[in-house]
């Protein structure tokens, strides 16, 4: 059974040190593509970019993403890298893996009969 996307509108908030509209558009587009591939319709996505050590440089750009799904707990991921783009790419990869794993877990749990149902069936057949 294929899932239907209930809403094509997703509130994507991008905050922090990303000021270029080109980067903001690219990040929002990539998040929408990843969610469409997984057939998920979250209510909101929040991305927060920070520079951990300021002007010192180094591996200090952090991308934190929080995804809110209806009737589920929020999913939060973070990734630290040398540039904003690589921090975003790393956080998006982690988010995709975590959402895929959660979907697989839900699918497996729904396929197995519940223990009381299986016990009642065994007792009735025996």
Who contacts 24 (Cβ-Cβ below 8 Å, separation ≥6)? 14, 18
pLDDT in tens, 53-74: 887 878 889 999 999 988 888 9
Give yes or no for a contact between 101 and 87, defined as CB atoms under 8 angstroms apart.
no
The CATH number of whichever domain residue 42 belongs to comes to 3.30.160.100
Give the global pTM: 0.77
More confident residue, 106 or 77: 77
Average pLDDT over residues 97-123: 79
Average pLDDT over residues 80-105: 94
Assess if residue 69 is contained within a domain: yes
Average pLDDT over residues 65-94: 94
Assess if residue 32 is contained within a domain: yes
Would you state the pLDDT for residue 3?
Answer: 39
Assess if residue 67 is contained within a domain: yes
């Amino acid at each position: 059974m294929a899932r239907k996307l209930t809403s094509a509108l997703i509130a994507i908030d991008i905050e922090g040190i990303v000021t270029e509209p080109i980067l903001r558009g690219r990040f929002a587009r990539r998040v929408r593509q990843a969610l469409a591939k997984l057939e998920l319709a979250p209510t909101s996505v929040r991305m927060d970019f920070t520079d951990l050590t300021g002007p010192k440089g180094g591996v200090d750009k952090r991308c934190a993403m929080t995804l809110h799904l209806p009737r589920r707990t929020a999913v939060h991921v973070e990734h630290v890298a040398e540039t904003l783009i690589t921090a975003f790419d790393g956080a998006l990869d982690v988010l995709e893996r975590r959402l895929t794993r959660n979907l697989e877990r839900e699918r497996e749990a729904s396929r197995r009969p519940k223990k009381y149902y299986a016990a009642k069936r065994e007792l009735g057949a025996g």
